[in-house]
């Protein structure tokens, strides 16, 4: 499977899971928005308008938040958001892949897809745990945890460079 096929499949999965979450709650406006956004994203991918991926991801995120706000299935929306992030990353990777040598592209694609799927699985696991576990934290502890998370993220970003 190449990166373009993977991108198309993840767009379809993201659109389908968000549309299914809307359909189960009979949210017709959300269903229409999800399907329309999926069609626009696929059309942009097919026509080579890669700049649309960022806008579609942003709109998909906003639509997902609205759908969850109106009591849709959060695990289904989480699955769709992970698929949308995979589609967005695939779009960016496909653009960077054009600079690679032709004989290295297949190897790079397969390695990147494996890493993305591993990260998506981990994200779904952590996201599902976050949906299941409820913690009551005061603002002070929430602030401390947020600062610790920001410092850890900054440390990881420095180490990655």
Q: pLDDT of 77-132, one tens digit each?
A: 999 999 999 999 988 888 888 877 778 888 888 888 888 888 888 889 988 888 88
Q: Report the distance separating Cα 130 and Cα 140, nearest Å.
A: 20
- Residue 136, SS3 per DSSP: coil
Q: Give the structural domain span for 154.
A: 3-160
- Residue 101, SS3 per DSSP: coil
The pTM score is: 0.78
Q: Tally the domains of the chain.
A: 1
Q: What angle do CA 138, 141, 146 make, to 5 degrees?
A: 120
Residue 37's CB is within 10 A of a number of other CB atoms, namely 23
Q: What angle do CA 146, 152, 153 make, to 5 degrees?
A: 90
The model's pLDDT over 26-70, given as tens digits with 9 standing for 90+, comes to: 888 889 999 999 999 999 988 888 888 889 999 999 999 888 888
């Amino acid at each position: 499977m190449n990166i373009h096929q993977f991108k198309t499949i993840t767009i379809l999965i993201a659109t389908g899971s968000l549309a299914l979450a809307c359909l189960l709650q009979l949210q017709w406006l959300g269903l229409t928005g999800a399907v329309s956004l999926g069609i626009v994203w696929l059309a942009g991918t097919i026509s080579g308008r890669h700049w649309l991926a960022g806008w579609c991801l942003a709109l998909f995120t906003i639509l997902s938040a609205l759908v969850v706000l109106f009591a849709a299935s959060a695990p289904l929306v989480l699955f769709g958001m992970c698929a949308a992030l995979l589609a967005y990353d695939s779009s960016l990777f496909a653009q960077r892949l054009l600079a690679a040598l032709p004989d290295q592209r297949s190897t790079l694609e397969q390695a990147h897809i494996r890493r993305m799927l591993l990260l998506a699985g981990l994200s779904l696991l952590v996201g599902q745990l976050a949906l299941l576990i409820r913690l009551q934290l005061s603002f002070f502890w929430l602030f401390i945890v947020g600062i610790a998370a920001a410092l850890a993220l900054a440390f990881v970003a420095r180490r990655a460079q």
